[in-house]
Structure 1
Amino acid sequence: TMLVSWVTFIQAFLILMVKGADQWSLRESSNCELKRKQSDLNSFLWTIKRNPPSYFYENSKKAFQESNMVYLELDLTDPYTISALTSCQLLPQGGTLQDVLPRDIYRRLKRHLEYVKLMMPFWMTPDQRGKGLYADYLFNAIAGNWERKRPVWVMLMVNSLTEADIKTRGVPVLDLYLAQEAERMRKRTGAVEKVEEQCHPLNGLNFSQVIFALNQTLVQQESVRAGSLQGSYTTEDLIKHYNCGDLNSIIFNHDTSQVPNFNNVTLRPSEQITAQEIDSYFRQELIYKRNDRMGNRVKTLMEEHPDNSFFFAFGAGQ
């Protein structure tokens, strides 16, 4: 998720969708390259050898069922979490994007979102429509109130508004599903991060970096619309590599925060420096610092509750 769940959605940061409980332990080996040895494939379940044992998710219902404490990145069942995530994305003091963006970028952004809204009914699948998911509702759920959001969050939103990703919408994000299952099974739930710790690094980019990132995102999406550029990695690609245990795949490394891969674009030397600065900033803030912080909190939790078995589920970007 991964801005592993940035809006858990970011959602860190990389987002993984589940289509039902029975798919937890399914690995779609038929879609994996048979050239690789099974020993080369990774499992995303790690066991901490203690008594009782604790687990880091992936593919074991048994580990989930046997644990009595389930901890995710954020507590998605807490209304404050959702409210704080929303507030974090908004421009301060009631500002609007039209007030802060260069006129040309604002105009291109508005045009692109109009295009997405027009195309969304054609992008949706019969299965989505059969479940009562309508294009207007979905567009408003993703892009509603976009004019009040900070440019960096609009950039992330635009990067996810692609045909391939729209086709996967309407399924609960994995961490929310796990939280709901844990509550249903009356397990104790918790989180190892605060909303502010996920939001503030994104909001910490300086304005020129944000404008650069938004502009490059629009350039890429405009090129896709014109047919001159193939779309970047999608949620479906991520699910495939994840199910294959392909942790070392380029798909997990092409970008640390759902920011488009600017290296695929021909940039001037000064722009290459900016792109590298953004990538370095996100790696430091969203990967290295988070890993250290989250690891220390996991260690503390287990030390404070030596008689409990934990199940930890974090995003693929960790």
Structure 2
Amino acid sequence: YLDVLRLLVNNKCLLQKQNCLLSFCLQQSELNSFLWTIKRDPPSYFYGTIHVPYTRVWDFIPENSKQAFQESSIVCFELDLTDPYTISALSSCQLLPQGENLQDLLPRDIYRRLKTHLEYVKLMLPSWMTPDQRGKGLYADYLFNAIAGNWERKRPVWVMLMVNSLTEADIKTRGAPVLDLYLAQEAQRMRKRTGAVEKVEEQCHPLNGLNFSQVIFALNQTLLQQESLRAGGLQVPYTTEHLIKHYNCGDLNSIIFSHDTSQVPNFKNATLPASEQVTAQEIELYFRQELIYKRNERMGRRVRALLEEQPDKSFFFAFGAGLISQRLSFEIMLFLGTNLDFKPLRNGLFFLRRKFVAVILPLMKSPSR
């Protein structure tokens, strides 16, 4: 049945963008719903989110995940993005100490290249925006200032992340709440209790913990990547579009989703000199340890405490998919205790939009993988 479905979808792939996504999804060896259940009475859930506009993924999220969200009484996130203090603290931790600015800190050549690149982005940004964004009243100047405003006062590591996000593909996704924020807003609208298992400082301090030479290396490599993109000489391996496509297909690819979880670009490059290869590997290992492994351990302890303190409540934990997918999910499981059954709910065809069901269901008597 799946072979027949693949043939039907591939024949229409050139005509409809959604069908092309279906064709891509059907090529995956294992499809998941990003929903794990903690079996107890009442049940609780882990759900893997993604840091992209919810409008790009919501229609592909299966009903079992939406139902679990609706039936849960308490919804917990990594951070509470609806709390004004959280947003203020996130902004403050990115800033240099009072009286310092980037021009005084950065090597002259890197500062010049950074300024040139930001001027290029500001010039190109109007042409990168979509008609839908313009129709919603988004202006290029507003968007640029929202992302890059006050950049000369930011710490170099945050400027590096900012530059990495100022691409045409990322600009086109701006304007709607990311999935995490949308779920938080929906939880408030439904009058659910909400909470967070992390503090702002726990996400900020690891990024601010790189030494100066590592930060300069990272910023320089990021600028080199963007300059190569501008010249047409580089293809980025994992773009936002790749992330969305794999997420909508339920493809638990830890390589891709770990980039979304850490939000840090990959600096390893076969063309780097040996000494710089070492630096790139040190940075990658540092971020993986601080932003994934240590976070898993810390969040696992706090999740366990919440579950033990309120055994009569149904929790919905919405964390980054990179944190709870594949083997990383088992690290959290270890901290939950062996009395909890922690496994994904799967359905090989969960990703199908409702509009395709009328066409596909007559061809299939039961889901198959």
- Which residue number in structure 2 is paired with residue 43 of structure 1? 33
- The Cα of 1:249 is off from its aligned counterpart by 6.0
Q: Say whether residues 1:222 and 2:214 are aligned partners.
A: no
Ranges in structure 1 where 5+ consecutive residues have no aligned partner = 1-25
Distance 1:254 1:188 in 2: 30
- Which residue number in structure 1 is paired with residue 207 of structure 2? 202
RMSD: 1.8
Q: Say whether residues 1:143 and 2:133 are aligned partners.
A: no
Candidates 178, 186, 196, aligned match of 1:181: 186
Q: Say whether residues 1:116 and 2:117 are aligned partners.
A: no
Distance 1:128 1:306 in 2: 45
CA contact (8 A) 1:97 1:148 kept: yes
TM-superposition CA deviations, 1:98-130 (whole Å, max 9, x none): 011011000000000000000000001111101
- Which residue number in structure 1 is paired with residue 311 of structure 2? 306
- The Cα of 1:254 is off from its aligned counterpart by 6.0
Q: How does 1:281-292 map to 2 (within 5 A)?
A: 281-292=286-297
The structure carrying a bigger helix percent of its residues is 2
CA contact (8 A) 1:96 1:149 kept: yes
The 1:143–1:251 alpha-carbon spacing in structure 2 relative to 1, beyond 3 Å, is same
- Which residue number in structure 1 is paired with residue 8 of structure 2? none
Other structure's SS at 1:92 match: coil
- Which residue number in structure 1 is paired with residue 68 of structure 2? 63
CA contact (8 A) 1:255 1:261 kept: no
Amino acid at match of 1:181: E
- The Cα of 1:232 is off from its aligned counterpart by 4.2
CA contact (8 A) 1:159 1:260 kept: yes
The 1:288–1:175 alpha-carbon spacing in structure 2 relative to 1, beyond 3 Å, is same
- The Cα of 1:256 is off from its aligned counterpart by 6.3
Amino acid at match of 1:243: N
The 1:249–1:302 alpha-carbon spacing in structure 2 relative to 1, beyond 3 Å, is closer
The 1:254–1:290 alpha-carbon spacing in structure 2 relative to 1, beyond 3 Å, is closer
Candidates 219, 241, 244, aligned match of 1:239: 244
Distance 2:74 2:211 in 1: 39
Amino acid at match of 1:245: G
Other structure's SS at 2:320 match: coil
Question: Max radius of gyration: which structure?
Answer: 2
Candidates 313, 320, 335, aligned match of 1:315: 320
CA contact (8 A) 1:28 1:243 kept: no
Q: Say whether residues 1:32 and 2:27 are aligned partners.
A: no
- The Cα of 1:35 is off from its aligned counterpart by 3.1
Once the two structures are aligned, what percentage of the paired residues are identical? 82
CA contact (8 A) 1:252 1:317 kept: yes
Candidates 133, 142, 163, aligned match of 1:128: 133
- The Cα of 1:36 is off from its aligned counterpart by 3.3
Distance 2:164 2:277 in 1: 20
TM-score by length of 1: 0.88
Amino acid at match of 2:42: P
Q: How many residue pairs are counted as aligned between the two chains?
A: 291
Moved more, 246-255 or 185-194: 246-255
CA contact (8 A) 2:130 2:172 kept: yes
Other structure's SS at 2:317 match: strand
TM-score by length of 2: 0.76
Amino acid at match of 1:134: Y
TM-superposition CA deviations, 1:234-272 (whole Å, max 9, x none): 222101101111112642356863332222351100000
TM-superposition CA deviations, 1:63-108 (whole Å, max 9, x none): 0110000000011111110010000000012311001101100000
CA contact (8 A) 2:254 2:322 kept: no
Other structure's SS at 1:168 match: coil
Amino acid at match of 2:144: F
Distance 2:123 2:237 in 1: 21
The 1:268–1:98 alpha-carbon spacing in structure 2 relative to 1, beyond 3 Å, is same
- Which residue number in structure 1 is paired with residue 173 of structure 2? 168
TM-superposition CA deviations, 1:8-32 (whole Å, max 9, x none): xxxxxxxxxxxxxxxxxx9995152
Q: Say whether residues 1:54 and 2:59 are aligned partners.
A: no
Distance 1:63 1:49 in 2: 13
Structure 1 runs of 4+ aligned residues shifted over 3 Å read 26-29, 253-256
Distance 1:286 1:77 in 2: 22
- Which residue number in structure 1 is paired with residue 274 of structure 2? 269
Other structure's SS at 1:299 match: helix
Other structure's SS at 2:37 match: strand
CA contact (8 A) 1:152 1:214 kept: yes
